[in-house]
Chain A
Amino acid sequence: MAENKKRERYNIRISGLGGQGVVTTAHILGATMDNAGKYASLVPFFGSEKRMAPVEAYVRASSDPIYEVGEVVYPDIILIYHSQVVTHGKSYTMPFYTGLKPNSLIIINTDYDVLTEEDEKVLNDLNTTVVQFDATKLAKKIAGTELATNMAMMGMLLGLTKLVTTKHIEAAVRERFLGNSFVASGGTATLDSAIEKKFKKKEQLLTANMDVINQTFKMADSVDISGSELIVRFDV
């Protein structure tokens, strides 16, 4: 279709488990694009809204206004927040790469090689790049909490695609956690207060999140994913 055109356009599907910050990522990504003077539209999936239940959220990000609406059925980018999304058979989209376009990017949070041989064959045929790293471990190591997993995933995405700078991300993260314009669901509000208790000051929460994002930007900068092997692995 229009892959070779200069217009930046990414249709992103984010799959994870309730409580991992999937919907929060969609909101922050949207605000980040807005801060950068670009465009985004998001479709948070309001399913069961409980921890550990499958969750999907969708973000369209572009340098131009976006007209289309609805779920992203044919993504260019897939973020997988938990290996269970690949293995469990209970997620909203099975197999997880259904509808993936050729030459696309998948980022998976996992501590082991989660793709089957069959998965690898399909993804090879689509000329996909899979970036695999333990985002939860990274979040614990740098921010001291697994609740920053979404920051690691989002940081890796933005580090690899160079859609925006860390300055734009920082403004969006600040608005989400320190601003007052965001209306969270019940479950999300509980997690917000849990993470706020963990840090004495909200500024520390912001710093910890940004440390995770800066680290993933460094990791992303250290590799050239074009023409690489199917799977790019990072040690954390």
Chain B
Amino acid sequence: MSAITRPVLNKKQVEMNHLLHEAPREKHFITGAQAMAEAVKRANVDMAIAYPITPQSEVMHLVGDVFAQGHIKEYYRAEEELGTMSAIAGASRAGIRLFTATSGPGLLRGLEAIVSWPGHRVPAVLGILTRVVNAPLSIQPDNIEMAYMMHCGAVMLHAENQQDTFDFTLAAFAIAEKVDVYIPVAVATEGFFVTHAKGYVNMMSEDLVYKEFDPVASPVPAMDNETPPARIQRDAPVQKSNFMSYLIHSVWQQEIWDSNSRAMKYIYEYLGGPIEVQNPGSDVMILASGCAAAQAREAHRYAQEDGLSVGFVKVRAIRPFPRDEIREALKTAKTVIVPEHNIIGWLCTEVKAAIPNGGIVHEGPRVFGGMTLPVELIMFEIYEALGIEHKMKL
């Protein structure tokens, strides 16, 4: 029924481990938006649905190109984000692999539907290209929206750069569809700083593709709409009795968060673990996720050149939160600096709660409204923490 004819591609289907770890890769210089679309191209996606919003629009435009080239079976622009995210939930009942992406206000508009995905066992992949959500309006990459996503049960990965965006997005499909996980995976990265900036990305051939979605292996049976089941949850739990409603809700939600925890082993398998640690045992540890990790990595390099006792922790997984790993990485630290791109410091709060001596966690530095997080701000905190005299005027 499609008005345009698209080429039929004959690609070699492989396991995710082969795709990520064994297939030879070539270096490309591309934007983060291109990296995400390139991952979708290799993920054997059945259907993508989206509504455009800056800075996500670049990604979904490119995914549209990927559809036109024949790498995706279906693609359409929904009416807005609540419609988009509801359609993703509906489409997943047919037993297919799904991708969508959004940004800032679009994420919040779609959140009502998104937070129901885990409970309805929708194994879709959601790209979050961060953008300011609060007033005054801005299109810049503040990542406070991620705080709103953290409590729905979805797995959340936070990409530092273009390479992460590619690898995380690809791995997300495999993680989401594991029988013992089977909940959505969100891959977040900063708008503009990553989506619209070019970086080096090592990619495998596009002739390789992740093996197709297997609805028979799904723990949630696909719905056959030709012969609809006689009874599709005829009564919602709330209609049965309060007691049944409490019971069903607790069973579902506990199972979602258990599934979330079970995703951790696949984060190890595909991404080498939920955190990266450099110079463990240093007096000052800089801990960051996403783009702030790129700035922290740079500050860590400056500190090494100055011979300072400074280490670096990058957090790849926000959900499940790597509590044990972070505890271990920070166990001898005297000060922990957590640079962030939002005003509330959601990562800072998580880290404080994860370790027994939360008092060593420094509030910030933070930038707001999507402004650049200068490496100098992190250096300033390092010098202050180590009691080193400096002449930095910020």
Task: Mark A residues whose CB is within 8 Å of B.
Answer: 1-2, 5, 7, 34, 41-43, 66-71, 73-74, 102
Instruction: Decide if A41 touches B197 in the complex (CB within 8 Å).
Output: yes
Instruction: Decide if B376 touches A69 in the complex (CB within 8 Å).
Output: no
B306-327 vs A, CB cutoff 8 Å, 1 = contact: the mask equals 1000000000000000000000
Per a CB cutoff under 8 Å, which of A34, A42, A66, A70 touches B373? A70
Instruction: Decide if B295 touches A67 in the complex (CB within 8 Å).
Output: yes
Instruction: Decide if A2 touches B376 in the complex (CB within 8 Å).
Output: no
Instruction: Decide if B302 touches A2 in the complex (CB within 8 Å).
Output: yes
Question: Which residues of B have CB within 8 Å of A102?
Answer: 391
Question: Which residues of B have CB within 8 Å of A73?
Answer: 372, 374, 376
Question: Which residues of A have CB within 8 Å of B297?
Answer: 67-68
Instruction: Decide if B197 touches A43 in the complex (CB within 8 Å).
Output: yes
Sample of 14 further A-B pairs with CB below 8 A, known A69-B194, A70-B193: A1-B306, A41-B199, A66-B298, A67-B294, A67-B297, A68-B297, A68-B375, A69-B197, A69-B294, A69-B372, A70-B295, A70-B372, A71-B371, A73-B372
Nearest opposing residue in chain A for B372, CB measure = A70
B residues 370-386 near A (Cβ < 8 Å) are 371-376, 379
Instruction: Decide if B193 touches A67 in the complex (CB within 8 Å).
Output: no
Report the Cα distance A5→B294, complex, angstroms. Answer: 21
Most buried by A among B190, B291, B305: B305
Name the distance in Å between A41's Cβ and chain B's nearest Cβ: 7
Nearest opposing residue in chain B for A34, CB measure = B29
Name the distance in Å between A47's Cβ and chain B's nearest Cβ: 12
Task: Mark B residues whose CB is within 8 Å of A.
Answer: 29, 161, 190, 193-194, 197-199, 291, 294-295, 297-298, 301-302, 305-306, 371-376, 379, 391-392, 394
Name the distance in Å between B249's Cβ and chain A's nearest Cβ: 42
Per a CB cutoff under 8 Å, which of A1, A34, A71 touches B372? A71
20 contacts between A and B (CB under 8 A): A2-B305, A5-B305, A7-B305, A34-B29, A66-B298, A67-B294, A67-B295, A67-B301, A69-B161, A69-B190, A69-B194, A70-B193, A70-B372, A70-B373, A70-B374, A73-B374, A73-B376, A74-B376, A74-B394, A102-B391
Most buried by A among B372, B373, B379: B372
Name the distance in Å between A166's Cβ and chain B's nearest Cβ: 23
9 closest Cβ pairs, A-B complex: A70-B372, A68-B298, A69-B193, A73-B374, A67-B298, A67-B297, A71-B372, A67-B294, A2-B305
Name the distance in Å between A6's Cβ and chain B's nearest Cβ: 10
Question: Which residues of B have CB within 8 Å of A5?
Answer: 305
Name the distance in Å between A195's Cβ and chain B's nearest Cβ: 25
Nearest opposing residue in chain B for A66, CB measure = B298
Question: Which residues of A have CB within 8 Å of B372?
Answer: 69-71, 73
Report the Cα distance A69→B190, complex, angstroms. Answer: 11
Question: Which residues of A have CB within 8 Å of B379?
Answer: 1
Per a CB cutoff under 8 Å, which of B197, B301, B373, B374 touches A74? B374
Report the Cα distance A71→B197, complex, angstroms. Answer: 12
Given contacts A68-B294, A70-B373, are A1 and B197 in contact (CB under 8 A)? Answer: no
Name the distance in Å between B318's Cβ and chain A's nearest Cβ: 19
Report the Cα distance A130→B391, complex, angstroms. Answer: 22
Name the distance in Å between B92's Cβ and chain A's nearest Cβ: 34
Nearest opposing residue in chain A for B390, CB measure = A1
Question: Which residues of B have CB within 8 Å of A34?
Answer: 29
Report the Cα distance A42→B196, complex, angstroms. Answer: 11
Nearest opposing residue in chain B for A70, CB measure = B372
Question: Which residues of A have CB within 8 Å of B302?
Answer: 1-2
Report the Cα distance A71→B367, complex, angstroms. Answer: 13
Report the Cα distance A7→B306, complex, angstroms. Answer: 13
Instruction: Decide if A68 touches B295 in the complex (CB within 8 Å).
Output: yes
Most buried by B among A1, A5, A7, A66: A1
Instruction: Decide if B291 touches A69 in the complex (CB within 8 Å).
Output: yes
Report the Cα distance A28→B305, complex, angstroms. Answer: 30
Report the Cα distance A70→B394, complex, angstroms. Answer: 17
Report the Cα distance A209→B376, complex, angstroms. Answer: 36
Report the Cα distance A71→B370, complex, angstroms. Answer: 11
Name the distance in Å between A159's Cβ and chain B's nearest Cβ: 27
Per a CB cutoff under 8 Å, which of A1, A2, A7, A69 touches B295? A69
Question: Which residues of B have CB within 8 Å of A41?
Answer: 197-199
Report the Cα distance A69→B290, complex, angstroms. Answer: 11
Report the Cα distance A67→B164, complex, angstroms. Answer: 13
Report the Cα distance A2→B304, complex, angstroms. Answer: 10
Report the Cα distance A71→B103, complex, angstroms. Answer: 21
Question: Which residues of B have CB within 8 Å of A66?
Answer: 298
Name the distance in Å between B165's Cβ and chain A's nearest Cβ: 13
Most buried by B among A1, A2, A70, A102: A70
Question: Which residues of B have CB within 8 Å of A71?
Answer: 371-372
Name the distance in Å between B272's Cβ and chain A's nearest Cβ: 18
Instruction: Decide if B197 touches A2 in the complex (CB within 8 Å).
Output: no
Report the Cα distance A14→B194, complex, angstroms. Answer: 21
Name the distance in Å between A128's Cβ and chain B's nearest Cβ: 14
Question: Which residues of B have CB within 8 Å of A68?
Answer: 294-295, 297-298, 375
Name the distance in Å between A154's Cβ and chain B's nearest Cβ: 20
Report the Cα distance A102→B379, complex, angstroms. Answer: 16
Question: Which residues of A have CB within 8 Å of B394?
Answer: 74
Question: Which residues of B have CB within 8 Å of A70?
Answer: 193, 291, 295, 371-374
Report the Cα distance A22→B301, complex, angstroms. Answer: 30
Report the Cα distance A73→B199, complex, angstroms. Answer: 20
Nearest opposing residue in chain A for B300, CB measure = A67
Report the Cα distance A70→B374, complex, angstroms. Answer: 8
Name the distance in Å between A109's Cβ and chain B's nearest Cβ: 26
Question: Which residues of B have CB within 8 Å of A42?
Answer: 197
